[in-house]
Amino acid sequence: MSFVLPGELVPAQHVNLKLGPGLLQVSDVKNGSVMSTRAGELKHTANNREWWIEGNSRRYVPAPQESVIGVVIARSGEGWRVDIGSAHFASLDGLAFEGATKRSRPNLKVGSVLYARVSLAHKDMEPELECFDAQTRKAEGFGELKGGFLVRCSLQMSRMLLDQSHFLLPLLGARFPLEVAIGLNGRVWVSTKEPKYTIAVSRCIEAVDPDGGGMDERAAKKFLATLDI
Partner 1 sequence: MPRPPSPSIPEREFLYASLKQSLRLDGRLPLEMREPTLTFGPDLGWVDCAMGRTRVLASVDGKMVKPTPERPLEGVITIHSEISPMASSDYETGRASDEEVVLTRMLDKVLRRSDTVDKESLCVQAGQRVWHLRLTIHCLADAGNLLDCACLAGIVALKHYRRPEVEVEGEDVTIHHPSERAPIPLAMHHTPYCFTFAYFPDTTTQAVLDPTSLEQRLSAGLLSIALNAQRELCVVQKAGGVPLAPDEVMRIINVAVGKAKELDRIVEKRLQEDWSTRNVEVR
- Name all contacts of 55-60 with Cβ < 8 Å and 24+ positions apart: 55/22, 55/155, 55/156, 56/154, 56/155, 56/156, 56/210, 56/211, 57/155, 58/154, 58/155, 58/186, 58/211, 59/85, 59/86, 59/87, 59/155, 60/84, 60/85, 60/86, 60/155, 60/184, 60/185, 60/186
The binder of partner 1 chosen from 146, 193, 221, 222 (CB under 8 A): 146
The binder of partner 1 chosen from 27, 30, 103, 111 (CB under 8 A): 111
Distance CA 179, CA 43 (A): 31
Footprint of partner 1 on 79-98 (CB under 8 A): 83, 87-89
- Cα-based angle 62, 85, 158 (whole degrees, multiple of 5): 75
Instruction: Work out whether strand 18-19 and strand 50-54 pair parallel, antiparallel, or are unpaired.
Output: parallel
Instruction: Tell me which H or E stretch contains 81.
Output: strand 79-83
Selected range binding partner 1 among 37-45, 47-55, 91-99, 199-207, rule: CB under 8 A = 199-207
Nearer to partner 1, 6 or 148 (CB): 148
Q: Does 229 bind partner 1 (CB under 8 A)?
A: no
- The values of phi and psi at residue 219, to 5°, are -65, -35
For residue 180, give the amino acid letter. V
CB of 88 to partner 1, least distance (A): 8
The binder of partner 1 chosen from 75, 138, 196, 222 (CB under 8 A): 196
CB of 203 to partner 1, least distance (A): 6
The binder of partner 1 chosen from 64, 99, 147, 214 (CB under 8 A): 147
Nearer to partner 1, 149 or 167 (CB): 149
Nearer to partner 1, 49 or 88 (CB): 88
The binder of partner 1 chosen from 10, 84, 116, 145 (CB under 8 A): 145
Where does this chain bind partner 1 (CB under 8 A)?
Answer: 59, 71-73, 83, 87-89, 109, 111-113, 145-150, 189, 195-196, 198-199, 202-203, 206, 227
